[in-house]
Structure 1
Amino acid sequence: MDEVEVVVAHSERATLRVGDVFLKVDGDQARIDREVEVMGLTPVPTPEILWHKPRVLAIAAVPGTTLGRLGGPATASPEAWAAAGAAIRKLHDGPPPPWTGRAGRSIDELAAELDRECELLVSGGVLPADLVSRNRGVAEAALRPWTPAFTHGDLQIAHVFLQGTEVTGIIDWSEAGSGDALFDLATFTLGHEKHLGDLLAGYGADVDADVIRAWWSMRSLLIVRWLAEHGFDPFAPGCEVDVLKSRM
């Protein structure tokens, strides 16, 4: 009998695996509806949707393996990273959805959120003031105008599957929408800086690497408290706090 595996779970949503079927349970029905819609729009491979009912989306497992995970080794070849970069470029070149995704927050919204989080990280004793201040300065470079692109919004390295150098599927589209393409590239390479060149070789565009580095700091600063409050460990080796320390 297939066992039920809890892939990820927190107060907003949970993903369960039963054999080759993944069940995504979400407290926000609109988010499920949006994920179904966006998978029909995206120009890159996505999981097969088996069915969706109120608060639950069932999708088939995607063949292949990921390039790695945050906090773990990434042993895939440079060619595999380049293939992932080419697929991400194809996504970004597609017509953006008519709504704003997670990667599409305005400069003013991001700046206000960043100021608030930095203050809470220091006042709450979560991170040292010098670490926060240094990364706050690095993050400034991400606060600039950008051309809207079709963005995934949560393009973690564990969300892209490949067989050899063929991308077989990209999963977890609940945060997708129009946004900053470099946010996706930064999310994908977070904690795996040495592979950025290989990714960009496949992506094939003139990309400002300093903005990607700024997004590494921005994303890490904005999510450390949320992760800690929802049962994850941003202090684990290779994860968000180590990313921040690498900027010092």
Structure 2
Amino acid sequence: MDEVEIVIAHSERATLRVGDVFLKVDGSHARIHAEVELMSHAPVPTPEILWCRPPVLAIAALPGTTLGSLGGPSTGSAAAWAAAGAAIRTLHEAPLPPRPGQAGRDIAALTAELDDECELLLRNGVLPADLVTRNRQVAEAALRPWTAVFTHGDLQIAHVFVDGDEVTGIIDWSEAGQGDALHDLATLTLGHEEHLDDVIAGYGADVDLDVIHAWWSLRSLLIVRWLTEHGFDPFAPGCEVDVLKSRM
């Protein structure tokens, strides 16, 4: 009999694996329905949806392996990273989906959220003041107008599956919607700066590197405290705190 594997679990949602089936449990029924809809519109490989009965979404396992993990080595070749960049470009050139996503938050609201989070990081002594101050300065470059595209919104390295040098699928579309293209590119390469050139080569368009670096800082500042409070370790080697230190 197949064992039940907990892939990830926190207060908002959890993903379990039973054999070749993934069961995603989400506290928000609306988010589950939106994820199914956005996967159906995405012009890139996505997992087969087996059934959806909110709060549970069942999807088939994808062939291949992930590009790697944050804090761990990349298991994908340079060509695989370039293929991921090409897939992202295809997504960004698709017709806009009907809703804003994680990468499309209002600039004023995002700025206020970032400032509030930096204040909490300093007040609670989570991070050194110079680390927070410097990365807040770097993050400013991401807080500018952008042309909305179809974004994944949470394009972590572990959400991209490859087989050899080909992308076999992208998972976890719960944050997808209209947003900033460079947010996706930055999220994919977070903690794996050595593959940024490969991704950009596959993406095939001019990219503002200062904005990529800014999104690295912004995303890391916003999530360090949440990760700590939910049982994850952003201080582990190669993870979010090391990303922040790399901008010093």
Scaled to the shorter chain, the TM-score interval is over 0.9
Residue identity in the other structure for 1:88: I
Question: 1:157 aligned to 2:149?
Answer: no
Alignment of 1:3-152 (within 5 A): 3-152=3-152
Residue identity in the other structure for 1:63: P
DSSP 3-state at the match of 1:11: coil
- Cα deviation, 1:38-82, whole Å, max 9, x if unaligned, reads 011000010000001020000000001111100000142211111
Residue identity in the other structure for 2:176: A
Distance 1:130 1:12 in 2: 32
Residue identity in the other structure for 1:115: D
Residue identity in the other structure for 1:176: A
Identity %: 79
Distance 1:78 1:45 in 2: 20
Residue identity in the other structure for 1:4: V
Unaligned runs of 5+ in 2: none
Residue identity in the other structure for 2:31: R
Distance 1:221 1:85 in 2: 25
Q: Could you tell me which residue of structure 2 aligns to residue 190 of structure 1? A: 190
Distance 1:64 1:16 in 2: 18
Question: 1:223 aligned to 2:227?
Answer: no
Q: Which runs of 4+ in 1 moved over 2 A?
A: none
Q: CA deviation at 1:96?
A: 1.4
Aligned length: 248
User: What root-mean-square deviation, in Å, do the aligned CA atoms of Structure 1 and Structure 2 show?
Assistant: 0.6
- Cα deviation, 1:89-124, whole Å, max 9, x if unaligned, reads 101111111210000011101110010000000000
* TM-score of the superposed pair, with normalisation by structure 1: 0.99
- Cα deviation, 1:194-220, whole Å, max 9, x if unaligned, reads 110011000001110110000000000
Residue identity in the other structure for 1:32: I
* TM-score of the superposed pair, with normalisation by structure 2: 0.99
- Cα deviation, 1:135-163, whole Å, max 9, x if unaligned, reads 00000000111000000000000101111
